[in-house]
Amino acid sequence: MRLCSIASGSSGNCIYVGDENTHLLVDTGISKKRVEQGLHTLGVKGEELKGILITHEHIDHIQGLGVFSRKYEIPIYATKGTIEGIRCCSSLGKMPEGLLHEVEVDQTFSLGSMEISPFAISHDAREPSGYRIENSKKSVAVATDLGTYDEYIIERLQNLNAVVLEANHDIHMLEVGPYPYPLKKRVMGDKGHLSNELSGRLLCDILHDNLQYVILGHLSKENNYEELAYETVKLEVSYGDNPYKGEDIPMMVAKRDTVSDIITL
């Protein structure tokens, strides 16, 4: 199985997950051209995709969906609320008939060689979800845009081989930064985004010996930077109630505008 961030951040998100039989995208929040360029890096053509999984209807997760789906007609999977949000987004244009497929959280479905398990997340969208994706050998998950986490989330992220985990903001940078107060409150709220510290604490709860890679994603352009997210999460692991140290975990920060290294599990 391979995992790669084509783009990740508050300006656009697109994650590739696949194996030799099945190629998937999680979100298409960047232009069709940038999605295609990312897939080219992976040696995958748009028409080879088996499906697109959408986490929620915010524009940084669906910006390229209309143009991309009209060209390639790849089936799109999302919760009922997210599909309603997609249909209400006029900037996408007319979506091709029959491409939108409704899924339910905690109801696993199959796409090719992959088993997909959507799980509910806490975010200010209609019915947002993360995704756990596994084949017969490996399992990965995409868990971004969570304002908070609980035992339910921890349970859904157990025994993974790799995870894309949100590390959106540094709390101090957000507090003193340029955002207006209502937006700061939203980002820090239970339906906002995970801070670097919370990301590290969540990671402590899902660490195990077979977790081969962690990709920190969805960094805020204004309220975070790569080195800070990386070091903060490492520190939380090192000082957390677990047997691991930060340097024990292979970890990288997903780039906002460029394709990340390809993780092969």
Domain of residue 38, CATH code:
3.60.15.10
CB within 8 Å of 44: residues ≥ 6 apart: 16, 18, 23
On whether both 150 and 84 belong to a single domain, the answer is: no
On whether both 156 and 98 belong to a single domain, the answer is: no
Instruction: Give the model confidence (pLDDT) of 213-229 as tens digits.
Output: 999 999 999 999 999 99
Instruction: Give the model confidence (pLDDT) of 195-207 as tens digits.
Output: 999 999 999 999 9
Instruction: Give the model confidence (pLDDT) of 65-89 as tens digits.
Output: 999 999 999 999 999 999 999 999 9
User: Is there a domain that residue 237 lies in?
Assistant: yes
pLDDT (average), residues 204-211:
96
User: Is there a domain that residue 135 lies in?
Assistant: no
Number of domains present in the structure of the chain: 2
On whether both 96 and 155 belong to a single domain, the answer is: no
pLDDT at residue number 247: 92
pLDDT, averaged across the chain: 97
Instruction: Give the model confidence (pLDDT) of 229-254 as tens digits.
Output: 999 999 999 999 889 999 999 999 99
At 144, the pLDDT band (50, 70, 90 cuts) reads very high
Last residue of a domain, one of 43, 76, 104: 104
User: Is there a domain that residue 130 lies in?
Assistant: no
Tell me the CA distances in angstroms from 200 to 106, 109, 205, 229, one per residue in order. 25, 30, 9, 9
User: Is there a domain that residue 70 lies in?
Assistant: yes
pLDDT at residue number 123: 97
At 134, the pLDDT band (50, 70, 90 cuts) reads very high
User: Is there a domain that residue 183 lies in?
Assistant: yes
User: Is there a domain that residue 265 lies in?
Assistant: no
- Look up the domain containing 166 and give its range: 146-255
CB within 8 Å of 117: residues ≥ 6 apart: 106, 108, 131, 132, 133, 134, 156
DSSP string, 126-184: SS-EEEEEE-SS-EEEEE-S-S---HHHHHHTTT-SEEEEE--B-HHHHHHSSS-HHHH
pLDDT at residue number 10: 86
